[in-house]
Structure 1
Amino acid sequence: MLDIQRMNPNYFHPLQPEFEMNTRYYVEQKERNRENQSTFLFYQFKMNEGFANPISVIPDGCIDILFCCDEQQPTANVCGSVLQSKSINLKAGYEYFGVRFLPKQETQNLNCPMSEMIEREVPLTDMISTGAAASEKIVNEHDFHKRIKLFKQMIGSAIFASGNSSPSIIKYSLNKIYLSKGNITINQLADETGYSTRYLRKQFEENIGISPKLFSQIVRFQYSLYMLLKDHDYSIKDIIVENGYYDQAHLINEFKKFGNLTPNTISKRMVISI
């Protein structure tokens, strides 16, 4: 069985495999915010010279802030989760710095709520007043750890509130979804919270942007992907059992639905890239 602490949302963050597979290098660092007990994934990668193919991003239920470190034409965008695999064009030969966070971590001072960020990409300057100055400093800095420090000083403190304003039903439901690895139904959530399924669905759509059922499916897909790519001791059968799939066909269909690839294809691509 999996170590539940290791797979707890405080220790686990959804993956974007092609950031690692199709880049010259990739580094990441997780940090815990002691004030609101949230975890951020900081990462950095560099696109290969002459790389003309788009990078695919997959559903992860998260929001990313992604900086293109082109000193002549820098960009910084707030990117919401996609609902199926989507190709994005990144500049060949350039470095990218990003921050990924889960939806339970409030962004009270952004001009756009998280529920409206699904499948959207918005310039950081449209979201916070300090966006332009912060982006310039982060792009002009070349050290990964110093970029993290700049982000926390100039952006993190401005947009991530110390408290969490999500309704208690959302906070509770998200924790249950993460701890169950997406294996919980809306009826079970309704029974545990004492609210109707209709009310629960409405709260999710208002605060997260998608239904609890779809969000749970994305979480399960991401946990399965993590086991497939990061925990090589687990077989396909283990992944099916641990993540509550009916059978191998069910697992494959969900990988195709969200990642547009089978588990076997993703695993082989990851091995080849390494």
Structure 2
Amino acid sequence: MKQENIPVIKPRQPYMAVRTDHFKKIGFKTFGISQFYEFFLGNDLENCLQAVPDGSVDLLFEISEREIHTYIGGTVLKAKQWPMEAGSRYFGVRFFPGQCILPEDLSIKELINADIEIDGNYLGNRLTDRIQEGHTLEDWARIFLTYYGEKALKKQEDKGWNRLEEYVRNRIYESGGSVDMSTLEKETGYSACYIRRSFERVHGVSPKTFEKFIRFQNTLHHVNYKKEKTYEEIALECGYYDQAHMIREFKLFSGFTPEDYRKFIAGTPVQMLE
């Protein structure tokens, strides 16, 4: 089951750049982290954000003058509104699927389609105090890494128990979300039931559901960047049966048809949507 140079599809939440003030991000590819980001939710904005399925986990620190609240959320199952506190700054960490170190009292299944307030110091004493002392996204990212880095290295050393999940996840990435279960059974030598159970233990959703998320995320990228392509061409490139199939899932997962989505994001730099 050797795999090399697998293309990883990064988790995208495009509405953060559209529906918040002063959105900024730092891409990252170490310790299972996809990006650090910050935004401000002004009192004149809607006090909610729309999330889309991405298969990942986000850790979000709500920073006010007096206190910090910390939330952790897993992937949504379709387009969903998350309530936010207007007038606060937010610092977030988005992880690649299956990579976040969770609080010991939470399982990934509890985080699916949920946003849970947690003890922000679960990664180490005074983490939230240190974040409160920071002033910029770069400060917060550096502080977070001093707490998270050692634990992430330990997790990487211990991951041998679940090579099967890693293989299945990488095959889904490699295929763009189009590898079938019978192929995975043949390639791994494990039964569909065992593959599904091993995958759900890490991701909280089945391989089939995760494949839909990856196809959608890949489609988001194409819709963002490849304006010269027809929707029929995008649908076929991203593994859908046809254009109607793609549009149906895109609307379920994003809340818009591809055409309406492009109108909604018009004027937002494409790199901020990624």
Q: Which runs of 5+ in 2 are unaligned?
A: 270-274
Residue 255 of structure 1 corresponds to which residue in structure 2? 250
In the alignment, is residue 264 of structure 1 matched against residue 259 of structure 2? Answer: yes
User: Which residue identity lines up with residue 27 of structure 2 in the other structure?
Assistant: K
Aligned match of 2:37: 43
Per the alignment, residue 272 of structure 2 pairs with: none
User: For the residues of structure 1 that align with 2:123 and 2:222, how far apart are their CA atoms?
Assistant: 40
Q: Does 1:176 align with 2:171?
A: yes
Contact 1:80 1:118 in 2 (8 A): yes
Counterparts of 1:1-274 in structure 2, within 5 Å, are: 8-9=7-8, 12-33=9-30, 38-105=32-99, 107=101, 110-125=104-119, 128=122, 130=124, 133-158=126-151, 161-163=155-157, 164-165=159-160, 167-272=162-267
1:81 is paired with a residue whose SS is coil
SS at match of 2:214: helix
Give me the whole-angstrom Cα distance separating, in 2, the residues matched to 1:84 and 1:147: 30
CA offsets, 1:104-157, max 9 Å, x none? Answer: 3252764323343212323331782626x2123213311111110000012343
Alpha-carbon contact 2:29-2:35 (below 8 Å) kept: no
TM-score (norm 1): 0.86
Tell whether the 8 Å contact from 1:46 to 1:96 is kept in structure 2 after alignment.
yes
Deviation larger for 260-269 or 151-160 = 151-160
CA distance in structure 2 between the partners assigned to 1:135 and 1:95 by the alignment: 14
The one-character-per-residue Cα deviations of 1:192-217 (angstroms, maximum 9, x if unpaired) are 21112122122222222111101100
Moved more, 67-76 or 243-252: 67-76
Q: CA deviation at 1:162?
A: 3.3
Deviations 1:204-247 (A, max 9, x none): 22222111101100111011012212444544233212111111
Amino acid at match of 2:250: F
Which residue type is aligned with residue 249 of structure 2? E
Residues 13 and 41 in structure 1, CA contact (< 8 A), matched pair in contact too:
no
- For 2:128 and 2:230, locate their aligned partners in 1 and report how far apart those are by CA, in whole Å: 43
Which ranges of structure 1 fall in alignment gaps of 5 or more residues? Answer: none
Q: How many residues align?
A: 263
Contact conserved, 2:108 with 2:201, CA < 8 A, in 1?
no
Contact 2:47 2:86 in 1 (8 A): no
Give the deviation of 1:271 after TM superposition. Answer: 0.4
- Give per-residue Cα distances to partners, 1:145-194, cap 9 Å, x unaligned: 11100000123434662322551111100001012111112222222211
Identity %: 29
Query: What is the alpha-carbon root mean square deviation over aligned residues?
Result: 2.4
Amino acid at match of 1:245: Y
Is 1:28–1:43's contact at 8 Å kept on the other side of the alignment? yes
User: When the two structures are superposed, what TM-score results if normalisation uses the length of structure 2?
Assistant: 0.86
**Alpha-carbon contact 1:41-1:101 (below 8 Å) kept:** yes
